[in-house]
Structure 1
Amino acid sequence: MQSHDEYHDDRPLGRSIGRGLRCLCPACGKGRILHSYLKVRDTCPSCGEDLSHQRADDGPAYLTILIVGHLAIPMMAAYFIAFRPGPWEMIWIFGIGSMVLSAILLPLMKGMLVGIQWSRRMHGFGEGEIVHD
């Protein structure tokens, strides 16, 4: 029989995602992981956790486009049916709205992906630790 401690997840995925969405360190939840708009710090300023292993690459952009598209398209259809605006009005409203929403979501998605990678010990996170399966 294996004890309950062997099944304990010391890096819960949900907590790591939540901290990542707030752009906080997935380990301690206190330090900011981004030092500019999308630049991930090499280490957490609060606990010193090594964050240099992260490999978010194109993932945040993909997720941002996915979310913005799923929100914008139904809203565009509903707005068009309700008000019958001209093409330039649609371009201005939904073009600017999509850009603003994308700019807001992009760092959040990057933080979330760093949190997921840290939680699942991907790309060198947790290297050197003994993990019991």
Structure 2
Amino acid sequence: MSKDEAHYPPVDPVSVGLRGRCPRCGDGAMFDGFLKLRPTCGVCGLDYGFADAGDGPAVFVIMIVGFVVVGLALWMEVNYSPALWVHLILWIPLATILSLALLRSLKGLLIALQYRNKAAEGRIDRDD
């Protein structure tokens, strides 16, 4: 099934993407493991061959986590001036945990939005 010819009610791409569900039916799992996509949806059979999130999720994670961690670290330094080891103990684990928590959700969101907007590689149409 190369084209999406099945009739499914529209699902909210934000909710299914953040939960890692199929962008067409909203029921099947999108991921096989932590970040690896399944070849097809187990419920509706949607081929995930179109999905190419690229580096988008990682860029968003870097921006969001960087803003939160650097902001909190600066606030703590200005208000309390703790020792360097306190910063290391607090911010390295927080950055790691936030990055891992956000990466899967944002990858699912970008793939669901890619499906919803029918995004594909650019092609040049030539009438030869």
CA-atom RMSD, angstroms? 1.6
Q: Which residue of 1 aligns with 2:36?
A: 39
Matches for 1:1-133 after TM superposition, within 5 Å: 15-123=12-120
Name stretches of at least 5 consecutive residues in structure 2 with no aligned partner: 1-8, 122-128
Distance in 2, matches of 1:105 and 1:45, equals 24
Distance in 2, matches of 1:120 and 1:48, equals 19
TM-score by length of 1: 0.79
The runs of at least 4 aligned residues of structure 1 exceeding 4 Å deviation read none
Offset at 1:11? 5.2
C-alpha deviations, 1:2-52, integer Å up to 9, x for none? xxxxxxxx757xx11221011111111111101111101111111111112
Distance in 1, matches of 2:24 and 2:63, equals 28
Partner AA of 2:97 in structure 1? V
C-alpha deviations, 1:109-130, integer Å up to 9, x for none? 1101100110011127xxxxxx
C-alpha deviations, 1:88-110, integer Å up to 9, x for none? 21012101100110011111111
State the identity as a percent.
Answer: 31
TM-score by length of 2: 0.81
Name stretches of at least 5 consecutive residues in structure 1 with no aligned partner: 1-9, 125-133
Partner AA of 2:110 in structure 1? L
Contact 1:11 1:120 in 2 (8 A): no
Aligned length: 113
C-alpha deviations, 1:49-85, integer Å up to 9, x for none? 1112111111111111111011112111112223211
Distance in 2, matches of 1:91 and 1:52, equals 41
